[in-house]
Structure 1
Amino acid sequence: MDFRLYDSRVAWQVRNHAANLTHLNIAVMSYEYEVRQLLKDVAPQLTRLRFLGRWLLIPYGRSWVDTMLEDLQPLRCLGRTLVFLHISVQRVSSTTCPTKLLPHIEALFPKLRIILESSLGSLVRRNTCDWIQWRRLEFNPNEWQILEDKFEKALQDVPEATSDDPAAGVYMIQS
Protein backbone atom coordinates (compact mmCIF):
# COMPACT_ATOMS: atom_id res chain seq x y z
CA MET A 1 0.00 0.00 0.00
CA ASP A 2 1.22 3.44 -0.85
CA PHE A 3 -0.45 6.62 0.41
CA ARG A 4 0.27 10.26 -0.51
CA LEU A 5 -2.12 11.72 2.04
CA TYR A 6 -3.42 10.67 5.42
CA ASP A 7 -6.95 10.66 6.80
CA SER A 8 -9.33 8.32 8.63
CA ARG A 9 -9.90 6.24 5.47
CA VAL A 10 -6.18 5.53 5.18
CA ALA A 11 -6.04 4.53 8.85
CA TRP A 12 -9.06 2.27 8.34
CA GLN A 13 -7.47 0.57 5.31
CA VAL A 14 -4.16 -0.01 7.10
CA ARG A 15 -5.90 -1.41 10.20
CA ASN A 16 -8.17 -3.70 8.15
CA HIS A 17 -5.43 -5.05 5.88
CA ALA A 18 -2.50 -5.06 8.35
CA ALA A 19 -2.18 -8.85 8.49
CA ASN A 20 -1.80 -9.07 4.71
CA LEU A 21 0.47 -6.11 4.00
CA THR A 22 3.96 -6.79 2.69
CA HIS A 23 4.79 -3.19 1.67
CA LEU A 24 3.61 -0.01 3.36
CA ASN A 25 4.58 3.55 2.53
CA ILE A 26 2.75 6.56 3.95
CA ALA A 27 4.52 9.54 2.38
CA VAL A 28 2.99 12.44 4.29
CA MET A 29 4.57 15.07 6.49
CA SER A 30 1.61 16.96 7.94
CA TYR A 31 0.16 14.12 10.06
CA GLU A 32 3.42 12.68 11.35
CA TYR A 33 2.18 12.04 14.91
CA GLU A 34 -1.00 10.31 13.71
CA VAL A 35 0.89 8.12 11.24
CA ARG A 36 3.45 7.14 13.89
CA GLN A 37 0.68 6.28 16.34
CA LEU A 38 -1.14 4.20 13.72
CA LEU A 39 2.03 2.24 12.91
CA LYS A 40 2.73 1.64 16.59
CA ASP A 41 -0.84 0.40 17.09
CA VAL A 42 -0.87 -2.00 14.14
CA ALA A 43 2.78 -3.16 14.27
CA PRO A 44 1.96 -6.49 15.99
CA GLN A 45 -0.52 -7.27 13.20
CA LEU A 46 1.96 -6.51 10.40
CA THR A 47 3.17 -10.11 10.39
CA ARG A 48 4.12 -10.14 6.70
CA LEU A 49 5.55 -6.64 6.30
CA ARG A 50 8.85 -6.61 4.38
CA PHE A 51 9.08 -2.93 3.43
CA LEU A 52 8.23 0.02 5.64
CA GLY A 53 8.54 3.43 4.05
CA ARG A 54 9.21 6.71 5.78
CA TRP A 55 9.70 6.27 9.51
CA LEU A 56 10.70 9.72 10.76
CA LEU A 57 13.33 9.75 13.52
CA ILE A 58 13.64 12.99 15.45
CA PRO A 59 16.22 12.94 18.25
CA TYR A 60 15.39 14.88 21.38
CA GLY A 61 16.56 15.15 24.98
CA ARG A 62 19.31 12.81 26.14
CA SER A 63 21.44 10.86 23.71
CA TRP A 64 20.06 10.99 20.18
CA VAL A 65 20.90 7.30 19.71
CA ASP A 66 18.76 6.40 22.74
CA THR A 67 15.81 8.49 21.58
CA MET A 68 15.95 7.04 18.08
CA LEU A 69 16.03 3.52 19.47
CA GLU A 70 13.04 4.33 21.67
CA ASP A 71 11.23 5.43 18.51
CA LEU A 72 12.04 2.12 16.82
CA GLN A 73 11.10 -0.13 19.78
CA PRO A 74 7.36 -0.33 18.95
CA LEU A 75 8.36 -1.79 15.57
CA ARG A 76 10.52 -4.52 17.13
CA CYS A 77 7.84 -7.11 16.35
CA LEU A 78 8.66 -6.59 12.65
CA GLY A 79 12.11 -8.10 13.21
CA ARG A 80 11.05 -11.47 11.80
CA THR A 81 10.02 -10.06 8.41
CA LEU A 82 11.34 -6.54 7.79
CA VAL A 83 13.92 -6.44 4.99
CA PHE A 84 13.67 -2.80 3.83
CA LEU A 85 13.29 0.24 6.08
CA HIS A 86 13.12 3.82 4.90
CA ILE A 87 14.01 6.24 7.66
CA SER A 88 14.25 9.97 7.68
CA VAL A 89 16.71 11.21 10.28
CA GLN A 90 16.20 14.80 11.38
CA ARG A 91 18.81 17.03 13.07
CA VAL A 92 21.67 14.53 13.18
CA SER A 93 24.94 14.51 11.28
CA SER A 94 24.53 11.88 8.59
CA THR A 95 28.19 10.91 8.88
CA THR A 96 27.87 9.64 12.46
CA CYS A 97 24.38 8.19 12.21
CA PRO A 98 25.15 4.81 10.59
CA THR A 99 28.03 3.76 12.80
CA LYS A 100 26.21 4.55 16.03
CA LEU A 101 22.82 3.12 15.09
CA LEU A 102 23.66 0.03 13.04
CA PRO A 103 24.46 -2.40 15.87
CA HIS A 104 21.21 -1.49 17.60
CA ILE A 105 19.14 -1.63 14.42
CA GLU A 106 20.66 -5.04 13.59
CA ALA A 107 19.54 -6.31 17.00
CA LEU A 108 15.99 -5.02 16.50
CA PHE A 109 15.63 -6.19 12.89
CA PRO A 110 17.91 -9.19 12.23
CA LYS A 111 16.55 -9.79 8.69
CA LEU A 112 16.98 -6.17 7.64
CA ARG A 113 19.08 -5.88 4.47
CA ILE A 114 18.54 -2.30 3.28
CA ILE A 115 18.12 0.90 5.25
CA LEU A 116 17.12 3.74 2.99
CA GLU A 117 17.85 7.28 4.13
CA SER A 118 17.70 10.24 1.80
CA SER A 119 20.87 12.02 2.91
CA LEU A 120 22.93 8.81 3.08
CA GLY A 121 21.78 6.97 0.01
CA SER A 122 21.32 3.38 1.14
CA LEU A 123 22.93 1.24 3.76
CA VAL A 124 23.04 -2.32 2.49
CA ARG A 125 23.93 -5.46 4.44
CA ARG A 126 25.70 -7.87 2.16
CA ASN A 127 25.59 -11.65 2.44
CA THR A 128 28.81 -11.44 4.44
CA CYS A 129 26.82 -9.46 7.06
CA ASP A 130 28.93 -6.34 6.66
CA TRP A 131 27.28 -3.03 5.77
CA ILE A 132 28.15 -0.70 2.93
CA GLN A 133 26.89 2.73 2.06
CA TRP A 134 25.69 2.59 -1.54
CA ARG A 135 24.96 6.11 -2.72
CA ARG A 136 23.65 5.06 -6.12
CA LEU A 137 20.73 3.12 -4.65
CA GLU A 138 18.20 5.75 -3.67
CA PHE A 139 14.59 5.81 -2.59
CA ASN A 140 12.17 8.59 -3.31
CA PRO A 141 9.06 8.14 -1.14
CA ASN A 142 7.11 10.10 -3.73
CA GLU A 143 7.75 7.39 -6.34
CA TRP A 144 6.70 3.89 -5.48
CA GLN A 145 9.83 2.11 -6.72
CA ILE A 146 9.30 -0.96 -4.58
CA LEU A 147 6.54 -2.20 -6.87
CA GLU A 148 9.10 -2.46 -9.63
CA ASP A 149 11.24 -4.81 -7.49
CA LYS A 150 14.05 -2.26 -7.60
CA PHE A 151 15.39 -3.16 -4.17
CA GLU A 152 15.00 -6.92 -4.49
CA LYS A 153 17.04 -6.70 -7.71
CA ALA A 154 19.59 -4.44 -6.01
CA LEU A 155 20.25 -7.09 -3.37
CA GLN A 156 21.37 -9.42 -6.14
CA ASP A 157 23.74 -6.76 -7.53
CA VAL A 158 25.36 -5.49 -4.33
CA PRO A 159 28.94 -4.39 -5.08
CA GLU A 160 31.58 -6.70 -3.64
CA ALA A 161 34.07 -3.93 -2.87
CA THR A 162 36.35 -4.58 0.10
CA SER A 163 37.31 -0.94 0.49
CA ASP A 164 35.81 2.43 -0.37
CA ASP A 165 35.10 2.76 -4.09
CA PRO A 166 33.94 6.34 -4.81
CA ALA A 167 33.57 5.61 -8.53
CA ALA A 168 30.92 2.99 -7.72
CA GLY A 169 29.41 5.07 -4.93
CA VAL A 170 30.35 2.44 -2.32
CA TYR A 171 31.73 3.21 1.12
CA MET A 172 32.49 0.69 3.85
CA ILE A 173 30.79 1.15 7.22
CA GLN A 174 32.41 0.07 10.45
CA SER A 175 29.65 -1.07 12.79
Structure 2
Amino acid sequence: MKNKFVNVEDTRISITELMLPSHANFSGKIHGGYVLNLMDQIAFACASRHSGTYCVTASVDTVDFLNPIEVGELVTMRASINYVGKTSMVVGIRVESQNIQTGKVNHCNSSYFTMVAKDENGKGKPVPGIIVNSEIEMRRFLKAIKRLEMKKKRQDEFDSEDFVANNYIKDLEAYNVKIEL
Protein backbone atom coordinates (compact mmCIF):
# COMPACT_ATOMS: atom_id res chain seq x y z
CA MET A 1 0.00 0.00 0.00
CA LYS A 2 3.05 2.23 0.42
CA ASN A 3 3.08 5.34 -1.80
CA LYS A 4 -0.31 4.58 -3.35
CA PHE A 5 -2.57 7.61 -3.67
CA VAL A 6 -6.05 8.06 -5.10
CA ASN A 7 -7.67 11.24 -6.44
CA VAL A 8 -10.59 12.46 -4.33
CA GLU A 9 -12.62 12.55 -7.56
CA ASP A 10 -12.17 8.79 -7.89
CA THR A 11 -13.67 8.22 -4.41
CA ARG A 12 -16.96 10.00 -5.19
CA ILE A 13 -20.10 7.91 -5.15
CA SER A 14 -23.80 8.77 -5.19
CA ILE A 15 -27.11 7.01 -4.70
CA THR A 16 -30.66 8.17 -5.35
CA GLU A 17 -33.70 6.54 -3.83
CA LEU A 18 -37.42 7.21 -3.88
CA MET A 19 -38.82 7.75 -0.39
CA LEU A 20 -41.78 5.45 0.26
CA PRO A 21 -44.55 5.56 2.89
CA SER A 22 -42.86 2.62 4.64
CA HIS A 23 -39.87 4.93 5.34
CA ALA A 24 -42.02 7.53 7.15
CA ASN A 25 -42.26 8.19 10.87
CA PHE A 26 -45.45 8.97 12.83
CA SER A 27 -45.49 12.59 11.63
CA GLY A 28 -45.37 11.56 7.95
CA LYS A 29 -41.76 12.62 7.34
CA ILE A 30 -38.99 10.20 6.40
CA HIS A 31 -37.61 8.62 9.56
CA GLY A 32 -34.17 9.90 10.58
CA GLY A 33 -33.07 6.36 11.36
CA TYR A 34 -33.82 5.30 7.80
CA VAL A 35 -31.76 8.22 6.46
CA LEU A 36 -28.88 7.26 8.79
CA ASN A 37 -29.06 3.69 7.52
CA LEU A 38 -28.71 4.92 3.92
CA MET A 39 -25.84 7.20 4.95
CA ASP A 40 -24.05 4.27 6.59
CA GLN A 41 -24.46 2.25 3.40
CA ILE A 42 -22.97 4.95 1.18
CA ALA A 43 -20.15 5.56 3.67
CA PHE A 44 -19.34 1.84 3.54
CA ALA A 45 -19.45 1.81 -0.27
CA CYS A 46 -17.23 4.90 -0.55
CA ALA A 47 -14.65 3.71 2.00
CA SER A 48 -14.58 0.16 0.62
CA ARG A 49 -14.11 1.47 -2.92
CA HIS A 50 -11.21 3.67 -1.80
CA SER A 51 -9.52 1.04 0.37
CA GLY A 52 -10.33 -2.03 -1.71
CA THR A 53 -11.35 -3.90 1.42
CA TYR A 54 -14.12 -4.42 3.95
CA CYS A 55 -14.71 -1.39 6.19
CA VAL A 56 -16.58 -0.76 9.43
CA THR A 57 -18.12 2.39 10.86
CA ALA A 58 -16.00 3.70 13.75
CA SER A 59 -17.91 6.92 14.44
CA VAL A 60 -20.41 9.37 13.04
CA ASP A 61 -19.83 13.08 13.52
CA THR A 62 -22.16 16.03 13.05
CA VAL A 63 -25.51 14.65 12.05
CA ASP A 64 -27.76 17.70 11.71
CA PHE A 65 -31.16 17.19 10.13
CA LEU A 66 -31.61 20.53 8.36
CA ASN A 67 -34.81 19.96 6.39
CA PRO A 68 -37.41 17.18 6.54
CA ILE A 69 -37.76 14.68 3.72
CA GLU A 70 -41.25 13.97 2.41
CA VAL A 71 -42.74 10.72 1.16
CA GLY A 72 -42.52 10.68 -2.65
CA GLU A 73 -39.33 12.73 -2.85
CA LEU A 74 -36.10 11.53 -4.39
CA VAL A 75 -33.20 11.50 -1.95
CA THR A 76 -29.69 11.75 -3.35
CA MET A 77 -26.64 11.11 -1.24
CA ARG A 78 -23.19 12.08 -2.42
CA ALA A 79 -20.09 10.84 -0.65
CA SER A 80 -16.35 11.21 -1.02
CA ILE A 81 -13.26 10.59 1.04
CA ASN A 82 -12.39 13.82 2.88
CA TYR A 83 -9.46 12.51 4.93
CA VAL A 84 -7.32 9.40 5.29
CA GLY A 85 -5.21 8.20 8.18
CA LYS A 86 -3.27 4.95 8.33
CA THR A 87 -6.28 2.62 8.41
CA SER A 88 -9.15 5.07 8.72
CA MET A 89 -11.00 7.36 6.35
CA VAL A 90 -13.46 10.19 6.89
CA VAL A 91 -16.30 10.01 4.40
CA GLY A 92 -18.15 13.28 3.85
CA ILE A 93 -21.81 12.81 2.92
CA ARG A 94 -24.30 15.35 1.59
CA VAL A 95 -27.98 14.46 1.56
CA GLU A 96 -30.46 16.29 -0.69
CA SER A 97 -34.14 15.72 -1.33
CA GLN A 98 -35.94 16.65 -4.53
CA ASN A 99 -39.64 17.17 -4.99
CA ILE A 100 -40.39 15.27 -8.20
CA GLN A 101 -43.27 17.56 -9.20
CA THR A 102 -41.67 20.96 -8.56
CA GLY A 103 -38.02 20.02 -9.01
CA LYS A 104 -37.15 21.91 -5.81
CA VAL A 105 -34.00 20.56 -4.11
CA ASN A 106 -33.38 20.85 -0.35
CA HIS A 107 -30.12 20.24 1.48
CA CYS A 108 -31.23 17.89 4.26
CA ASN A 109 -28.04 16.79 5.95
CA SER A 110 -24.28 16.77 5.84
CA SER A 111 -22.34 14.32 7.94
CA TYR A 112 -18.95 12.73 8.45
CA PHE A 113 -18.50 8.99 8.94
CA THR A 114 -15.16 7.64 10.12
CA MET A 115 -14.63 4.25 8.54
CA VAL A 116 -11.84 1.78 9.29
CA ALA A 117 -10.46 -0.71 6.77
CA LYS A 118 -10.21 -4.27 8.07
CA ASP A 119 -8.22 -7.26 6.90
CA GLU A 120 -9.48 -10.86 6.89
CA ASN A 121 -8.57 -11.18 10.61
CA GLY A 122 -10.47 -8.04 11.64
CA LYS A 123 -7.31 -5.99 12.14
CA GLY A 124 -6.87 -2.48 10.78
CA LYS A 125 -5.55 -2.52 7.23
CA PRO A 126 -3.53 0.35 5.66
CA VAL A 127 -5.43 2.47 3.15
CA PRO A 128 -4.21 4.45 0.13
CA GLY A 129 -3.48 8.13 0.58
CA ILE A 130 -5.58 10.82 -1.04
CA ILE A 131 -4.63 13.30 -3.77
CA VAL A 132 -6.13 16.72 -3.15
CA ASN A 133 -6.77 18.69 -6.37
CA SER A 134 -8.76 21.73 -5.25
CA GLU A 135 -9.11 24.23 -2.43
CA ILE A 136 -12.43 22.69 -1.36
CA GLU A 137 -10.81 19.24 -1.12
CA MET A 138 -7.97 20.75 0.91
CA ARG A 139 -10.49 22.55 3.15
CA ARG A 140 -12.39 19.27 3.73
CA PHE A 141 -9.15 17.46 4.62
CA LEU A 142 -8.13 20.23 7.04
CA LYS A 143 -11.61 20.36 8.63
CA ALA A 144 -11.40 16.62 9.25
CA ILE A 145 -8.03 17.08 10.96
CA LYS A 146 -9.50 19.86 13.14
CA ARG A 147 -12.52 17.69 14.09
CA LEU A 148 -10.13 14.88 15.10
CA GLU A 149 -7.96 17.28 17.13
CA MET A 150 -11.00 18.79 18.89
CA LYS A 151 -12.37 15.33 19.68
CA LYS A 152 -9.04 14.29 21.20
CA LYS A 153 -8.79 17.53 23.18
CA ARG A 154 -12.35 17.05 24.51
CA GLN A 155 -11.59 13.46 25.50
CA ASP A 156 -8.34 14.47 27.19
CA GLU A 157 -10.05 17.27 29.11
CA PHE A 158 -13.16 15.47 30.31
CA ASP A 159 -12.03 11.83 30.52
CA SER A 160 -8.90 12.64 32.48
CA GLU A 161 -8.48 11.41 36.06
CA ASP A 162 -7.51 15.02 36.84
CA PHE A 163 -11.05 16.27 35.99
CA VAL A 164 -12.47 18.44 38.79
CA ALA A 165 -16.20 19.10 38.38
CA ASN A 166 -16.15 22.19 40.61
CA ASN A 167 -13.83 23.90 38.11
CA TYR A 168 -16.69 23.88 35.57
CA ILE A 169 -19.68 25.01 37.63
CA LYS A 170 -19.29 28.63 36.55
CA ASP A 171 -19.22 27.51 32.89
CA LEU A 172 -22.69 26.00 33.31
CA GLU A 173 -24.45 29.01 34.83
CA ALA A 174 -25.86 30.20 31.49
CA TYR A 175 -27.41 26.80 30.72
CA ASN A 176 -30.67 25.11 31.62
CA VAL A 177 -29.10 22.89 34.28
CA LYS A 178 -29.25 22.68 38.05
CA ILE A 179 -26.08 21.39 39.73
CA GLU A 180 -26.57 19.42 42.95
CA LEU A 181 -23.17 17.88 43.71
Give the TM-score of the pair, scaled to structure 2. Answer: 0.26
Larger RCO: Structure 1 or Structure 2 (Cα < 8 Å, ≥ 6 residues apart)? 2
Q: Which has the higher strand share?
A: 2
Structure with higher Rg: it is 2
